[in-house]
Structures are given as C-alpha cells and as structure tokens.
Structure 1
Amino acid sequence: MTAEAISTEEAPTPRAAYSQAVRRGPLLFLSGQVGTDPRTGRLVSENVAEQTRQTLANLGAVLAAANSSWSDVVSVRVYLVDQADYREMNAVYDAAMVRPYPARTTVYCGLNPGNRVEMDLVAVVDQPATRPT
C-alpha cells in the first residue's frame, strides 16, 4: 500500500516539506490548516471566529480534493493560542460539524505570529482520492 499526497489550490500552499494531506489505504491525514486565505496568502482577520471559519474552509477544500467530506472525519485536533478564544472558536466549529461528530482534542500552544487557531484531522475514506483518467 503506497502513500498518496493530496493537494489543492483551494487551500494554502505548504511553505515547507509537507503535503496538505496524505492518504494511505482508507486513512486520510490532513496537515494543520490556519485562517489563511489561499487566494491572498494572508490571514483573513485577527478575530478567532473568522480565522476558525477560514481554517474549516481550508480543511474542507483539502477533503474535497481527496474525494472526501466532513462526514468521513473521525478525529480533529484544535490548537489555540489563548484559552479565552475557546468559546468563540467552539461556536463556529459546532455549527460546521456533521453527525456522527468526530473525536476532538483541543490543545493550547504557541502558533506562528497572528494565528489564533490551527486544526488538523484524520478521515477514513472509501473512494480513491484521484479518479482514473
């Protein structure tokens, strides 16, 4: 079973040696995404709610590039800079999730300057990421 890198221009381009996502068999691992607009390469806002919405949109774009969706997601890790941002981030997150809800861990940590939230996830998928040509 070989690993397959997944990428899309609909999410920010990695700035180091990592893939937006990697699929191996039915497991799909998405790298951390932040609130960067993929068209401008800039954070959408300093506000954690707006960054959370963009983070979820970026993850959704990578899921779509892998022929996957939020219903395939089994685990999400949320990284927050400030515990005071939890309630606001969580409200946006809750509104975006579909049942059955994925498992989730929230960690408080340091992130790159300006980033208030980052998320990564794991999904289990049935279809290949690329369609035969």
Structure 2
Amino acid sequence: MTLKRLTIILSLLACTGIASAADAEFYNQGNPPGRPFSLAVRAGDVVYLSGQLGTDDKGLVPGGFEAQSRKAMENVAAILKGMDLGMDNVIKCTIMIADMKKWADFNKVYVSYFKPDRLPARSALGANGLALGGEVEVECMAYAPLKK
C-alpha cells in the first residue's frame, strides 16, 4: 500500500469516527449469494449503500425506465428498513442514468420518496452502460448515529 493511499484511508476513517476499517459493519441481509459487494457498510455514523438497480429476484423489473426507477428506490428503502433506518436518514444520493434525456422522468419518481423539506444532496450522471443492462442506478449515503 502506498503512503498516499494509506493517508487517504486514514483521513476517511477519521471522518467516520471509527478507529479502523475492521470496525466497519457490513450489511448483507437479503443479498443474493455470489454478489461481489455488500448491500451496505456502516462506518461510524454513516451508512454507505451500494448502488441499487431496478431489480427483483428475477432480474430487471418489466415496465421500462419508470418501473426500474421505482424499484431501485424501493430497493434503497428496503435496505434502510432492514437496518432500522428510513429515507429520512438519507443525506446524499448519486444517480446514474443510461439516458440523461430521462433525468426529469427520474426526478418525478425520486422526489416521491422524500419529504419536500428533506431532499438529500445529490449528483446525477449519464452512464453509457449499467450492470444487467439497467436504465438507472441509485447509490446513497445515510446518516445514522450509533446508539450508545
């Protein structure tokens, strides 16, 4: 490991309030076997959710962009619920859209999952390809103070 990389990791850990990466908690409840990632990782008071596609146990949901957008947001909500959290805990989202012309369509779905005065910070970017041929992917961070 390079000194620069170690410095970055230590800086990130200092921001999370955990002593080392070994203190992070990995959440995988409901994650199908063989997936090369955790559904979420808690580092101190912050929970990092892996990107969610509009999939169910059969793959991409039918119905196109709006259906995939709803399902991706429902998947985020389900992971949070499994961790005793909710959409009010979400502080930042990154949205990846295969066709940025559908950005406004996504926004119509997205805002329905949050209170108007509690919209998370957000970035959106176009992607020339998403896993499984998905049309949209939603990645979030949630603030969830550790109970003492």
User: 1:122–1:108: structure 2 CA closer, same or farther, 3 Å change rule?
Assistant: same
TM-score (norm 1): 0.85
User: 1:112–1:17: structure 2 CA closer, same or farther, 3 Å change rule?
Assistant: closer
Runs of at least 4 residues off by over 4 Å: none
Aligned to 1:5: 26
1:126, distance to aligned residue in structure 2 (A)? 2.3
1:17, distance to aligned residue in structure 2 (A)? 2.4
Aligned to 2:123: 105
Aligned to 2:72: 55
1:46, distance to aligned residue in structure 2 (A)? 4.9
Counting helix residues as a fraction of each chain, which structure ranks higher? 2
What are the Cα deviations for residues 79-101 of structure 1, in whole angstroms up to 9, with x where unaligned? 00001211211111111122321
- SS of the residue corresponding to residue 63 of structure 1 reads helix
1:26, distance to aligned residue in structure 2 (A)? 0.7
User: 1:14–1:34: structure 2 CA closer, same or farther, 3 Å change rule?
Assistant: farther
Aligned to 1:69: 86
**Number of residue-to-residue matches in the alignment:** 124
1:18, distance to aligned residue in structure 2 (A)? 1.3
What are the Cα deviations for residues 49-93 of structure 1, in whole angstroms up to 9, with x where unaligned? 100110011111111111111111110000000012112111111
Give the counterpart letter for 2:32 in structure 1: T
Aligned to 2:3: none
Checking the alignment, whether the CA contact within 8 Å between 2:39 and 2:50 is kept in structure 1 is yes
- SS of the residue corresponding to residue 48 of structure 2 reads strand
Among 23, 29, 38, which residue is 2:42 paired with?
Answer: 23
How far apart in 2 are the matches of 1:45 and 1:114? Answer: 12
Structure of greater Rg:
2
How far apart in 2 are the matches of 1:50 and 1:59? Answer: 14
Higher relative contact order (CA 8 A, sep 6+): 1
- More displaced stretch, 117-126 vs 83-92: 83-92
1:114, distance to aligned residue in structure 2 (A)? 2.8
Structure 1: tracts of 5 or more residues without a match: 129-133
User: 1:14–1:88: structure 2 CA closer, same or farther, 3 Å change rule?
Assistant: farther
How far apart in 2 are the matches of 1:41 and 1:5? Answer: 24
